[in-house]
Amino acid sequence: MADKRDDDVGYGRPPTANKFKKGRSGNPRGRPRGVSNFKTDLAAELRETLVLTENGREKRITKQRAFIKTLTAAAIKKDIRAVHALLACMRLFGVGSEEAPVEQHGDRGDLDFLQSYLDSQRKGKPSNTADAEGRTSTKKRKKQ
């Protein structure tokens, strides 16, 4: 009688002729060349150009640019879903996160004066304020 282990064929036990052979790949030829995936198809589609009429003039822009323009226009028209989508894109790609350096106007004396004024306002103490001619007067803060 034949060995019972070799003859058992069923769920989870394929015939020995169909099992993977040791040292051989399960996909010997691999992925065929030229087969694109979703990412490359989407990138190619978004790079295609189309003609758009804007302010009475025809412009050739990519589909990606047209999509961004449409999304931005819908967000400006207060479409809440477009606003959320636009903000998500901005967050994902880091748009708007780089802020321009703030230019400082005025000299050091002005900044010191403003800082002392703000400190006194926070503490609730009266402050000395200067008018246009340079005269100072003491004003008390009104309680609300």
- Whole-angstrom CA distances from 137 to 19, 40, 115, 120 are 97, 71, 18, 14
67 — pLDDT class (breaks 50, 70, 90): very high
Share of the chain above pLDDT 90, in %: 33
Cβ atoms of residues 46 and 40 within 8 Å? no
> Among positive and negative, which fits the CA dihedral 57, 59, 90, 70?
positive
Cβ atoms of residues 139 and 126 within 8 Å? yes
- For the chain, the average pLDDT equals 80
Cβ atoms of residues 6 and 16 within 8 Å? yes
61 — pLDDT class (breaks 50, 70, 90): very high
Here the tokens at position 94 are: 């880091």
**Residue 2 predicted with pLDDT over 60:** no
Closest CA to 48 of 67, 61, 34: 61
